Structure 1
Amino acid sequence: MAPSGRQAGRPQPRLARALGGSRSAVSAPAVHAGARSGAGLGAVVKRVTHEPGYVLHRYDWSESSVIVEAFTRAHGRVALVAKGAKRPSSNFRPVLLPLQQLSLNWGGDAEIRTLRGAEWGGGQVMPTGDALLSGYYANELLMRLLAREDAHPRLFDAYAALVHVLASGQTEPLVAAALRTFELLLLRETGHLPALDAQTLTFAPLATDAAYRLVPEGGLRAAHADDGAWLAGAHWQALTGALADEAPFSATLQAVAQLPGDARASLRQQLRELLHYHCGVGTLRTRQLLMDIQALS
């Protein structure tokens, strides 16, 4: 029989501090549409201003310009060309950094829009060390699992909360709990997370003291004797309740942080297998980089 979950208690002071300021205080962006000069009838140029966003990835487009993959609250993942961003005098050069909330302006109707302006939103410093690599890991997940122009405002808020935790110098266990929380919310928002309060194939409710395993192709099922990773039904039920909370990141972070150490490690393994399956890779690049660095230290 699997051990039952621990009773949820009050948030620990360190956890409460980590949650402070995790809600994104963002104003609604402005969207404008106007006829494009010289274009055919019905052609429209879309202009977006003051849109909260983060740089997920950037790569060269020309000798002086870069393509920026940005995650925005109202427009999802968008591709933007930052013309002249590689020039030393460019206003884009010091601003287009990862893990920093920005206010973005862009226009155009092509798949790759033209970045018109970018301003730093402030709020936190750049994460360092393992926290920085954890941020790159989250960015890689978003790049692999999000389609372009598919808005996920709740996921954007969860990502902003994760960045806040990474930048605030929290302990390794709390950073790990924040990553598990983000992974759960990402899988749910993209439709890859089955219901965690019943067995997926039989719809049978979970017994609190029984063991269940999350598998990529079968969802949640009763654990087998040779399963190396599983959680008690009580743990899955606690996560279900937290994910349904009005503040899902805060509630799920608390639920994950309150799991016993072996249960947190087991959850990490099961979520990793599920993410790799849906990303279509054996190992994510940032995960492999982190393992290589740890092997050298």
Structure 2
Amino acid sequence: MTQAAYVLHRRPYLDDAALAELLLADDSRVGAVVRGMAAKKSHKRAAMQPFVELELTLAGQGDLKNARAIEVKTAHSLTGNALYAGFYVNELIIRLVPRGTDTDGLFALYQQTLLALMSTEVEPVLRRFELSLCHRLGYGIDLWRDSSGQPLNAEGRYQLVPEEGLLADVKGPYPGLHLLAIAQDNWQDSDTRRFAKHFCRALLAPHLGDKPLKSRELFRLAGGVQ
């Protein structure tokens, strides 16, 4: 059966093949072998690029599928900071979503993120993606109420405990004012963006582990805002 897919990452595999990590339209992530990549005029080599929506078929019962009948459906053109942001989004999915896992709404979220990166500022798009991904994976945080169920106070300060939520703490690093702005998807204030970046990193850290993200280093070298 033909289905839509995006290439999250690929690397050489055997003599004429590539090993690709794919995000499928059924919201799952799979590994697939793509053969026939070595030919100079191979349409597969041109198709198997990041941010290109493909139509393909997958065969096989093991951990690695065989990708066949690959055709380009839509190519998203990302440049500058948006390009580095796209690599970051891809890397987050690979690091946080195991192969074979269905993550409800992930494919649509990914498409929306790519389209937003092409047309709007990068930083709010990344924060929306990080927060949405965390909720879909089951470790999102309620930004309207603290861990005791009380509404957040715009004048208060809070501490993030990933397993519990937001704890009221007069010495906490996160002002209620900015947490509520994030909840309202209001990114006009530069301080809100700064706190949101710190907050999302703290939220993701326990799940990413100690291995650095390569895309963050690329962003840093490029002078990006990720």
Are residue 113 (structure 1) and residue 65 (structure 2) matched?
Answer: yes
Q: How does 1:9-158 map to 2 (within 5 A)?
A: 48-49=1-2, 51-122=3-74, 124-158=75-109
* Contact 1:256 1:264 survives alignment (8 Å): no
- The answer for the alignment partner of 2:187 in structure 1 is 257
TM-score if structure 1 supplies the norm length?
0.69
* Whole-angstrom CA distance in 2 between matches of 1:97 and 1:232: 42
* Whole-angstrom CA distance in 1 between matches of 2:194 and 2:116: 20
Equivalent position to 2:175, from 228, 231, 241 = 231
Structure 1 unaligned residues grouped into runs of 5+: 1-47, 243-254
Q: Deviations over 1:160-181 (max 9, x none)?
A: 111112233x3xxx21101100
* Contact 1:54 1:71 survives alignment (8 Å): yes
* Whole-angstrom CA distance in 1 between matches of 2:81 and 2:105: 25
How much has 1:218 moved relative to structure 2?
4.5
TM-score if structure 2 supplies the norm length?
0.89
Q: Percent identity?
A: 29
Going by fraction, where is strand more abundant, 1 or 2? 2
Structure 2 unaligned residues grouped into runs of 5+: none
**SS at structure 2 position matched to 1:221:** strand
* Contact 2:4 2:55 survives alignment (8 Å): yes
Query: Which one has a bigger Cα radius of gyration?
Result: 1
* Whole-angstrom CA distance in 2 between matches of 1:256 and 1:56: 29
Distance 1:235 1:274, change over 3 A: closer
* Whole-angstrom CA distance in 2 between matches of 1:256 and 1:223: 23
Q: How does 1:174-185 map to 2 (within 5 A)?
A: 174-185=121-132
Please tell me the root mean square deviation across aligned C-alpha atoms, in Å.
2.2
Distance 1:238 1:183, change over 3 A: closer
- The answer for the alignment partner of 2:213 in structure 1 is 284
Q: Which has the higher contact order (CA 8 A, sep 6+)?
A: 1
- The answer for the alignment partner of 1:222 in structure 2 is 168
**Number of equivalences:** 224
